[in-house]
Amino acid sequence: MSLIHTGLPAPGWRWIKDRLWSLERAFEKSRASGRAENDARIRIFVVMVLFLAGFACLAVGATRLALFSGIDVAGVRGGGAGPGRAPLVDRRGALLAADLPYYTLYLDPRDVWDRAETRAAVLSALPDLSVTRLDRALKSSRRTFLAGPLSPRERDRVHALGLPGLVFEQEPRRVYPLGNSAAHLIGFSDTGGEGLAGAEGALNDRIRAGAPDQQPTPLSIDVRVQAALDDELNAAATRLQAKGAVGLITNVQTGEILAMSSWPAFDPNHAGESSPDQLRNRAVASVFEMGSTFKVFTLAVGLDTGQITPETVFSTTKGMNIGSRVIRDLHAVGHDMTARDIFLKSSNIGASQIALKVGGPTMTNYFEAFGLFKAAPIELSESARPILPREWNPNTVASASFGHAISVSPVALAAGVGSVLNGGRYLPLTLQPMRAGARPQGRQVLKEETSRQMLDLMRRNVLEGSGRRANAPGLRVGGKTGSAEKVIGGRYVRDKVLASFAGVFPTDGALSDDRYMVLIMIDEPVADAESGGRTGGLTAAPTAGKVIDRVAPFLGVNRRFEQVAALPAPVVAPVQTAPAPAGGR
């Protein structure tokens, strides 16, 4: 018998080859000397060594499998590649989203001792489990999925049964502890760890990159501010039986979004159970004719170009004819109005005259500078493009002056109005926080003097004009209301209104001071006893006032009660106005 053969690789096996040749020579020597018993002993010894080596390899493999296979003492196998997404937190570090360990339960019927006992015990531990699925798994001939994802508590209940055949696999699951609060802004991801919507989708690469060391990705929102906005918007939309609603709070100096709400909301923990209407982020993905909030732009352009001053008088006693169309005011007055009064009384006639006085080309240039001709440049991919007129003739210019004929998203409106309030710099809105005191340069679209005049006008509107119900004591609130009849089937429908309010606080202080914009939009509110109507001044403005009253302490805005002098009654002299240019719609 020979223990070796030729052809072994020389370098790696030389030592083994030499030892085996030594054994072979020992065997030959034993046979030659007539001591066969020694030859047998040596062969038995070699076989024993080989068996021991084999058992040692098996022991090492079993130990490695037990320690590193991913199966723990509770029968749990680690699944997948581990947590695939870093946590999301708000600007103060409060948790918004995180990967947490959840468990999937499998049943291997080949290891089950008593099917009836297993069936009864599993159903007692997991009462919501499908009986049909359990019975099918028990009758199967192979390992079968039974339930999941299970929470650690549910896993412990099943594990405590101590039944063979039940095996767990651990996998990360994205959890959203705030539920439906800020759901549209935060968004959600799929089971494979890819962001699908909101910040989860927009910042997907950054969130995935932070997964190995679980480095949190901060967002610009403040959960305290968000909770107050959610609460008040939900209360108003429910009470007014609205079709939908939007709330936004931004820092106009930085463009940071501090809170964003879209109603109806959804729970990102169960996004698959939500309807398309719930999943739509109306603040970003929908466009609307925003109504008289556009008068903020119209007055700002008139002042910035020098075509008007707050005291410029316009004839507003009669409807304004443009082609076949007559522009009227919701509440007609029997006298001419200054530009200031046009803003405070929200006169469509006066706004149209201001826009036509400025001129169509100049108005559209400013509208474009305010960011109204493109999808809002925010990180969210859902950002919708506006619907613009085919032609900017006098009719469309006049209509756009009070928020008709052009449809934009609420975030686009908020960014544009923010540029009117921060010293004239257009800043894109952002979901990412900035350092304290940051002042992005932005794009200058208005003179600083114009911004100061508009802050004063908006404060006057809350004190004396259409926005009175938005006033929050001591917080120096300003704003502009909007009430736009909705277009349905190509026609404006009087009893379908989009009510809105674009507010700002505080209106005093240096132009460079932190200042916050609050936008409330309520889609098709139904008048009730509390509101007394459907307009922005009766529905959206009071909601904005409640929001501002609640969030001011979180934003560091102190109450200060200023003395505001009443405006003297203007001396209105007769004025000759040129007839409006004709033009079809």
**Active-site amino acid positions:** 292
Q: How far apart are CA 312 and CA 570, in angstroms?
A: 10
Using alpha carbons only, give the angle 12, 13, 18 rounded to the nearest 5 degrees: 140
CA distance 53 to 483: 87
**C-alpha count within 13 angstroms, C-beta hemisphere, residue 285:** 18
Q: Which candidate, 499, 465, 478, places its Cα nearest to that of 292?
A: 499
| Residue 563: other Cβ atoms inside 10 A | 4
Number of other CB atoms surrounding residue 388 within 10 Å: 18
SS3 assignment, position 346: coil
Phi and psi for 361 in degrees, rounded to 5? -60, -40
**Residues 6+ away with beta carbon under 8 Å from 95:** 87, 88, 89, 177
Is 495 in contact with 485 (CB distance < 8 Å)?
no
**Is 452 exposed, middle or buried (CB count within 10 Å of its CB: 0-12, 13-18, 19+)?**
middle
| 129, 146 contact by CB (below 8 A) | yes
- Give CA–CA dist 330/322, Å, rounded: 18
Q: In the 8-state DSSP scheme, what is residue 248?
A: E
Neighbouring CB atoms inside 10 A of 407's CB total 20
Residue 386 has phi, psi (to 5 degrees) of -75, 165
The residue among 99, 98, 82, 78 whose CA lies nearest residue 170 is: 78
Helix axes 295-305, 360-369, angle to 10 degrees: 110
Return d(Cα 134, Cα 111) in angstroms, integer: 15
Q: In this structure, how many other beta carbons lie within 10 angstroms of the beta carbon of residue 138? A: 18
Sequence-ordered list of residues with C-beta below 8 angstroms from that of 436, at least 6 positions apart, any chain: none
Q: Tell me the DSSP string of 496-546.
A: EEEEEEEEEE---S-TTS--EEEEEEEES----TTT-SSSTTTTHHHHHHH
Distance CA 584, CA 325 (A): 8
Which residue has tokens 């305290």?
224
Contact call for residues 105 and 156 (beta carbons, < 8 A): no
Q: What is the number of H-type helices and E-type strands within the chain? A: 19, 19
504-539 in b/e form (b: 16+ CB < 10 A) is bbbbeeebeebbbbbbbbbbbbeeeeebeebbbbbb
